[in-house]
Amino acid sequence: NAGVMQNPRHLVRRRGQEARLRCSPMKGHSHVYWYRQLPEEGLKFMVYLQKENIIDESGMPKERFSAEFPKEGPSILRIQQVVRGDSAAYFCASSLDWAPSEQFFGPGTRLTVL
Amino acid sequence: GESVGLHLPTLSVQEGDNSIINCAYSNSASDYFIWYKQESGKGPQFIIDIRSNMDKRQGQRVTVLLNKTVKHLSLQIAATQPGDSAVYFCAENPFGSQGNLIFGKGTKLSVKP
């Protein structure tokens, strides 16, 4: 049973470009969470999605950031017009049900904005 | 506001000794507290959790203690091994939240052979 998969593992973008981060949850999991981690910091919650629904996006910046979890396919975190401050590790977690202690994390995507 | 923080940013222990990693939290309305281990270049890995109606929980070589009076959480690792070297995060799930976790900044545990 494969764990949470994220791709790409490393992504380099120039300022103003778009970044698309993908997350495939564990098999059978329908709850996905996105977190951002700055160097030497803890993870910061961004958004919580179920299939085709955004449940909580209270941690997501209002502009340039969007997330989706379609009926088929991976969850996508999209950052438009990236800036240097977007450089961070972005982690996705998934769970079978709503269970905060049952979130399994992926290996992360490390975004570098030049 | 809500925050979770750690007392010590780094901890160095001798192999075989016990380790204690501490965490202070400010949100008394949290339902769950969780400890994660994060190795370099990897995602956080669940270690152990504890509900707010408990004060102690034990796992394999690990024990979590919750003191709600002083809003303090600790992770004890028995017979620390080199493979335990990592950054440890405490996280809380506030009651009524939609499942998001609030993480502390982390403590780096270094195990000397």
Please provide the DSSP assignment of B24-37 as one string: EE--TTEEEEEEEE
Quote the pLDDT of residue B31: 81
Specify the higher pLDDT residue, A40 or B61: B61
Give the Cα separation of B83 and B64 in Å (integer). Answer: 19
| Total Cβ atoms within 10 A of residue B51 | 13
| CB B106 within 8 Å of CB B4 | no
Quote the pLDDT of residue A76: 98
Specify the higher pLDDT residue, B1 or A32: A32
CB contact under 8 A, B99 and A56: yes
Res. B95 pLDDT band, cuts 50 70 90? confident
Least Cα separation, residue A42 to chain B (angstroms)? 4
Coil, strand or helix at B82: helix
B81 inside 8 A of chain A by CB: no
Cis ω before A8 (30° cut-off from 0): yes
Quote the pLDDT of residue B98: 66
Res. B94 pLDDT band, cuts 50 70 90? confident
CB contact under 8 A, A58 and B49: no
B31 inside 8 A of chain A by CB: yes
Closest in B34, B98, B105 to A55, CB measured: B98
Q: Which residue has the tokens 């790409």?
A: A8
pLDDT digits (tens, 9 = 90+) for A78-102: 999 999 999 999 999 999 876 666 7
Quote the pLDDT of residue B2: 40
| CB A56 within 8 Å of CB A31 | no
The DSSP bridge pattern shows strands A109-113 and A10-13 to be: parallel
Q: Which residues of A touch B98 (CB under 8 A)?
A: 48, 55-56, 58, 98
Least Cα separation, residue A107 to chain B (angstroms)? 4
CB contact under 8 A, B32 and A45: no
Quote the pLDDT of residue A34: 97
Q: CA nearest A21: which of A112, A108, A82?
A: A108
Q: What is the mean pLDDT of residues B7-22?
A: 88
B52 inside 8 A of chain A by CB: no
Quote the pLDDT of residue B59: 94
A25 inside 8 A of chain B by CB: no
Give the Cα separation of B50 and B63 in Å (integer). Answer: 10
| CB A105 within 8 Å of CB A3 | no
By CB neighbour count within 10 A (0-12 exposed, 13-18 middle, 19+ buried), where does B60 fall?
exposed
Integer angstrom CA distances of residue A41 from A37, A91, B81, B83:
6, 13, 24, 22
Res. B6 pLDDT band, cuts 50 70 90? very low
Give the Cα separation of B17 and B102 in Å (integer). Answer: 30
Most confident of A6-10, A98-102, B9-13, B99-103: A6-10
Closest in B93, B100, B105 to A41, CB measured: B105
The two three-digit tokens of residue A55, written as one number = 């449940």
Closest in B42, B99, B105 to A48, CB measured: B99
Quote the pLDDT of residue A2: 73
Quick one: what percent of chain B has pLDDT higher than 90? 64
Closest in A42, A95, A102 to B106, CB measured: A42
CB contact under 8 A, A101 and B102: no
Closest in B43, B98, B104 to A105, CB measured: B43
Give the Cα separation of B66 and B11 in Å (integer). Answer: 20
